[in-house]
């Protein structure tokens, strides 16, 4: 067996191990303490941030919580910033996503405001909604420093 074949087999094995460790009975394993801690924070705090290196499971944890907490948060929004054109600035991307989320809310004046004002108003509108809400914003770090 060549070195290239050995490396390929090892990579395949690593992928199989990752898949088997990642999910068991459609649940992530080994992160129960993290999920419990974040759930408690989420219920007590106005907002929480999850951050860390790429690939450590932030989005997976957030999506598990997003699903798990659906009964505690009548309004749940997920914003994935990476699916908007890369030439668009962070605030523009966020405003576009917030506008999409708010399409069902009657806010005619909102659309005439400038970018900063739209961002501010979008957050204020979400804030003013009396129901508890969960807002998941993913891929913030796909932007350069100083863009957010």
How many domains are contained in the chain? Answer: 3
Half-sphere exposure of 27 (CA within 13 A, CB side): 7
Say if residue 108 is in the same domain as residue 128: yes
CA distance 8 to 28: 26
Q: Tokens 């450590």 sit at which residue?
A: 56
Say if residue 101 is in the same domain as residue 81: yes
Q: How many CB atoms lie within 10 A of CB 122?
A: 20
pLDDT in tens, 1-49: 677 777 777 777 667 666 655 554 456 677 788 888 888 888 887 677 7
Say if residue 68 is in the same domain as residue 78: no
pLDDT in tens, 67-98: 888 788 777 767 666 655 566 676 676 677 77
pTM comes to 0.47
Per-residue pLDDT at 104? 61
Structure tokens at 14: 């690593």
Say if residue 44 is in the same domain as residue 90: no
């Amino acid at each position: 067996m060549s070195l290239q074949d050995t490396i390929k087999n090892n990579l395949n094995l690593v992928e199989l191990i990752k898949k088997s460790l990642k999910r068991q009975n459609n649940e992530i394993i080994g992160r129960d303490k993290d999920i419990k801690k974040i759930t408690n924070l989420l219920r007590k705090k106005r907002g929480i941030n999850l951050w860390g290196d790429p690939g450590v499971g932030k989005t997976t944890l957030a999506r598990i919580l997003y699903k798990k907490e659906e009964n505690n948060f009548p309004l749940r929004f997920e914003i994935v910033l990476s699916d908007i054109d890369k030439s668009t600035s962070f605030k523009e991307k966020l405003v576009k996503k917030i506008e999409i989320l708010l399409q069902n809310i009657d806010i005619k004046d909102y659309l005439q405001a400038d970018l900063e004002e739209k961002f501010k108003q979008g957050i204020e509108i979400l804030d003013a909604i009396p129901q508890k809400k969960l807002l998941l914003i993913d891929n913030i770090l796909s932007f350069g420093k100083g863009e957010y």
